[in-house]
Amino acid sequence: MSEYYIGIMSGTSMDGADAVLACLDGTQWRGVRAHAFLPYPDDLKTRLLDLQQRGTDELHRSRLLARELAELYALVVEKLLRENGLRPQDITALGCHGQTVRHAPEHGYSVQLADWAWLARLSGIDTVGDFRSADLAAGGQGAPLVPAFHHALFASAEHVRVVLNLGGIANISVLAPDDAPFGFDTGAGNMLADAWTRHVWQQPFDRNGEKAAQGKLLPDLLARLCAHPYFDQPAPKSTGRELFSLAWLQSHLRGGEAPEDVLHTLLHFTVETAVAAIRRYAPDAECVYACGGGVENAELMRLLREALARQNTDLRRTDALNLHPQQVEAAAFAWLAACWRHGVAVDLRRATGAAETAVLGAGYVLAKPEARPTAVVCEIPPEARFNDMKSKSGCKRLFAAIGYSADGIRAAYRHEAGFRQLLALHGVLLLAVWCFDFDTSTRIILIAVSFLSLAVELLNTGIETVVDYISLEKHPLAKRAKDVGSAAQWLVLLMILIVWLTAWLG
């Protein structure tokens, strides 16, 4: 029986919280139904970054931030439920990673901030958190945790695949047929480039890699960065801001470097270290599947594609495996919550170095569970049903296609209320054309403009439907398409007003 789970992830980049609504049958993945995102306020991000440095009153500040993060996570859960017409009791459990502020596996700890008990109370949903501690207790690094999820979803029975997560920290999962999941952190992902952009231009990140594309490679700087001893350590290994900080970068600058050149070199640093890791540990990989925020950086993806092409390896996004790159990590924690609920141990021995498998996470179950309605059976998401449809034949494929199309119709209905209102308005306007004493040419113009407005509104409704249905809310092209559609809609309405006023006054 398939059930709903929610996964929440806020990564090292600290841009905000991603949440996904996922369907699972036990621990078998059925797909993502919806996605929501809430950005971190600037003040919250600043206080989180401050906590990563030694300072006064750290314990008090950390507990206040944990509570504040729980409140933000509860808001993104509420947003996800509201947009999908669900209630807290419809969700079996939610998995929340929390915000990493210190990672020191050499000392046996890794700190993720979140008040999971408070989150359970605020959301009304049983909550699973603190996923790293069990792995650390088993002798592991506590990170990365996602290779097990990547293996469950993306592994091929025939080919070696690599999943490259371009988050604040970059990490790879090597998925070989009939082998346990293997992976590790390759080094800095977006973290250093974001820190440099914030330091130089007071912007949170380099949108689409536009500033980096204006710079050139500084070979000496790249060589100094790549000389860090972390890259000579054998896997499994993990890292964080403790090693790759803005201060560390600045200590390698000689002075006088153009900011754009430094930024461009940082992208090469991410690419070179990731590709070197893939070349060493997955030389037979035919394709690398990228996920995480870095996939939206066109310059980074260009450099990565060129570097992989030199070793005859393709680069694709995880969209090709039916999971949007921005949803992969949050989805992993929905899956881990399901594993915790069903008592399934996760094998990360080759990814974190743990001595044995472990059930990851600690649960915060709400009181009196007998008084709460049982979780509803979830609808199978469209992409899962589409894959299932492709494996069928004859009448079964026909009925599966009808069900797949019905989901699209329901998505469209959520966005067409405005179109119906505009259709009624234009019906009144077309009636007025014949009631008023306009000449034939004016009537033709008014009717043509009205139909143009309807066409633009219909196109805009279609765009919003696709963006919502395929969960592309954070994709820059999707945002741009929605903005263009809305602007065109208002321009056409303004044109109608001007034409009507001209015809009336004329």
Q: Which amino acid is at 416?
A: E
Average pLDDT on 145-168 reads: 95
Q: Which residue has the higher pLDDT, 484 or 153?
A: 153
Strands, sheet with 169-175, edge to edge from the N-terminal-most edge strand: 182-188, 169-175, 161-166, 287-291, 314-317
Residue 381 has pLDDT above 90, yes or no: no
- What is d(CA 136, CA 126) in angstroms, rounded to the nearest whole number? 24
Tens of pLDDT, residue by residue over 384-398, are 444 444 434 444 444
Residue 242 has pLDDT above 70, yes or no: yes
Fill in the DSSP letter of residue 107: G
Q: Which residue has the higher pLDDT, 466 or 386?
A: 466
328: exposed, middle or buried (Cβ count in 10 Å: 0-12, 13-18, 19+) = buried
Domain 2-371, CATH class in plain words: alpha beta
- The ranges of the chain annotated as CATH 1.10.287.3610 are 414-505
Q: So what's the pLDDT on residue 403?
A: 45
Q: Which residue has the higher pLDDT, 426 or 116?
A: 116
Q: So what's the pLDDT on residue 371?
A: 45
Helix (H, G, I), strand (E, B) or coil at 228: coil
Tens of pLDDT, residue by residue over 259-269, are 999 999 999 99
The token duo for 201 is: 């231009």
CATH topology for the 414-505 domain: Helix Hairpins (1.10.287)
Average pLDDT on 457-474 reads: 57
- The ranges of the chain annotated as CATH 3.30.420.40 are 2-371
Q: So what's the pLDDT on residue 338?
A: 98
Total count of residues recorded for the chain: 506
Residue 399 has pLDDT above 50, yes or no: no
Q: So what's the pLDDT on residue 486?
A: 67
Q: Which residue has the higher pLDDT, 471 or 451?
A: 451
- What is d(CA 37, CA 448) in angstroms, rounded to the nearest whole number? 41
Average pLDDT on 132-156 reads: 95
Between 46-50, 275-279, 460-464, the lowest mean confidence (pLDDT) is in: 460-464
Tens of pLDDT, residue by residue over 35-78, are 999 999 999 999 998 998 778 889 999 999 999 999 999 999 99
pLDDT category, 414, cuts 50, 70, 90?
Answer: very low
Q: So what's the pLDDT on residue 404?
A: 42
Average pLDDT on 309-321 reads: 96
293: exposed, middle or buried (Cβ count in 10 Å: 0-12, 13-18, 19+) = buried
Tens of pLDDT, residue by residue over 3-37, are 999 999 998 888 899 999 999 999 999 999 999 99
Helix and strand counts by DSSP (H, E) for the chain:
18, 13
Residue 312 has pLDDT above 70, yes or no: yes
